[in-house]
Structure formats: C-alpha cells, structure tokens
Amino acid sequence: MAIDVPKRFSCSWCHEPLTNAIYFCFECPFFILHKKCLDELPTKINHTSYHIHPIFLNRSGSDCLCNLCQKQHSGPFYGCSLCHFNINIGCTLPMSIVEGKSRHQHPFTLFRRRGSFICDACGIEGNSISYICLKCYIEVHKKCTSLPRIIKFSRHDHCIFHKYFLEDLTRQDCKICFKEVRLEHGSYSCGKLGCNYVVHVNCVLEDDKLYEVIEDEKQCEVWCIQMWKVHICFGFWMLNITTFSSSQN
Ligand SMILES: [Zn+2]
Ligand SMILES: [Zn+2]
Ligand SMILES: [Zn+2]
Ligand SMILES: [Zn+2]
Ligand SMILES: [Zn+2]
Ligand SMILES: [Zn+2]
Ligand SMILES: [Zn+2]
C-alpha cells in the first residue's frame, strides 16, 4: 500500500528517509518500507530464533495471522508451509512492550533498529535500540521514557514543561549552553506568556541538585506565589532604601 508519510520517518529496513512509495501495514504503523526495499527483502530466513524450519517470503497477497503477535496482517509475510507457521515482516524485527515506570501517557514499545535515530524527547542521537509510542509516533531513548513532564529549575522563576516539539517557528537558543534548540525535537520551555525560556533536555537535567520534579501542575502556582512574595518584599526593601536615603538629604 502506498501512502504519504512525514519525511521524518525512515525506512525500517535501510533507514534512508522515506519517499512516498512505501509499504505500510495497519497493524504495524512503525514498520514502514520503501517499495524498493520491500522488493529486496530476503526470500528466505534461516534462523532458529524464529522457527525450526527456514521461513520463506510469501507475496501471494493473502492476509497472514502472525504466530508471534497473534494479529492479522496485510501484505507479504514469511511462512513455513510444513507447519502453517507465519510471521509478518514487521515481527521479524523483534519487539516487546516496555513495562515499568514511564511518565508518558501511552505504553512504549521496544524497537530494534539497524541504524541510529534521533531521540524525539531529547534531540540526541541514539543507537540500535529505541522505544516508540505508536499513538504519538515518537521514538526515544530508554532513559527518555521516564523524563519528568514538569520541573522547577533553580535558575528560572517559573516551572518549565517538557514538550516533544515547539510550535514557535522562530529560532530559539538554549538559555544554558546558548546553542540552538531544534524546534522539532524535545526540550523544556516555560509556559508563562512573554517568557521565552527554552533549554535542552540534557542541559537542564545535567545536575539533579539544580531541579525539582513537579508531579502536579498545581504546585507551579505555589512556586509562582512564593516568587511573587519575594519580589514584593524586595520591592518594598528597595523602596525603603530609596525613601530612607532621600530623607537623609
Ligand atoms: Zn528502504
Ligand atoms: Zn506479528
Ligand atoms: Zn515449520
Ligand atoms: Zn533521549
Ligand atoms: Zn504517546
Ligand atoms: Zn543547551
Ligand atoms: Zn518563565
């Protein structure tokens, strides 16, 4: 099946960017191939981790019930005709759902890939193993599956929020390292109007003594009120100093 996909996705087989001629199975939204790569798939897989007999590529166009994931797939698949054992192409790259603590609202799936990837959560390159969310089409490092959504960084007055991309289209520089923050990758930014505070994920999380994880958004208001009180006090103090010094004259 040929559909249009965003250019940021790469072919699951050769890892080159996808043009629009691709193979796509609805059960496996992250397994996407160039048409040419589909044509070049090995006709035979002889690997006992899949099956005791060699399995052969079947291009007959009939659907396959995959013996690994127990789902019905469309398109070509690998099968053993002796045992009626079938594996869809996507499942020949082993995958498993990640359990454990994740702060993302959907489960992540382990994805073994042949090349490198850019983590959507932190913007840093990763290798061979990534974790993907099939609902959000994001691909991240293992450590980035549990990034805090909100933190209070000691060098900024407001809470800052993790986002997978920034809607702002102007160039933003990280307030810690002063290098560019790529808008299409994850970063932490301040949600307060007029506050253009953006930082790289790795820059702000580098020293865990400098930030606090905020589990509940309501806590941010408490921080703001505290900061506001400090500012008011400081204002009064300044006012007193100036009135005091002017009354001296
Ligand atoms: Zn390809
Ligand atoms: Zn499968
Ligand atoms: Zn067999
Ligand atoms: Zn990452
Ligand atoms: Zn998600
Ligand atoms: Zn930075
Ligand atoms: Zn701010």
Residues 180-233 pLDDT 10s: 999 889 999 998 888 889 999 999 999 999 999 998 888 887 766 666 565 555
Give 139 Cα–ligand 3 centroid separation in angstroms: 34
Q: What pLDDT, on the 0 to 100 scale, is given for residue 95?
A: 47
* 45's tokens: 């897989």
Cβ atoms of residues 155 and 163 within 8 Å? no
Give 230 Cα–ligand 5 centroid separation in angstroms: 38
Mean per-residue pLDDT, 100-121: 76
Q: What pLDDT, on the 0 to 100 scale, is given for residue 71?
A: 82
Q: What pLDDT, on the 0 to 100 scale, is given for residue 212?
A: 93
CATH 3.30.60 positions along the chain are 95-145, 148-220
Please list, in sequence order, all residues whose beta carbon lies within 8 angstroms of the beta carbon of residue 22, skipping any fewer than 6 positions away.
2, 3, 5, 11, 32, 33, 34, 35
Give 9 Cα–ligand 5 centroid separation in angstroms: 16
Give 171 Cα–ligand 4 centroid separation in angstroms: 21
Q: What pLDDT, on the 0 to 100 scale, is given for residue 151?
A: 95
Mean per-residue pLDDT, 63-85: 85
Q: What pLDDT, on the 0 to 100 scale, is given for residue 88?
A: 84
> DSSP class of residue 2?
-
148-220: what fold?
Wheat Germ Agglutinin (Isolectin 2); domain 1 (3.30.60)
Query: CATH for 95-145, among 3.40.50, 3.30.60, 1.10.3710, 1.10.3860?
Result: 3.30.60
What ipTM score was computed for the predicted complex, to two decimals? 0.56
Provide the 10 A C-beta neighbour count for residue 231: 11
Nearest ligand to the CA of 206 is 6
Mean residue pLDDT across the chain? 79
Cα–Cα distance between 64 and 215 in angstroms, integer? 44
Give 85 Cα–ligand 3 centroid separation in angstroms: 6
pLDDT band (50, 70, 90) for residue 242? low
Give 146 Cα–ligand 6 centroid separation in angstroms: 20
Provide the 10 A C-beta neighbour count for residue 158: 16
Give 142 Cα–ligand 5 centroid separation in angstroms: 14
Q: What pLDDT, on the 0 to 100 scale, is given for residue 128?
A: 72
Give 193 Cα–ligand 7 centroid separation in angstroms: 8
Q: What pLDDT, on the 0 to 100 scale, is given for residue 3?
A: 47
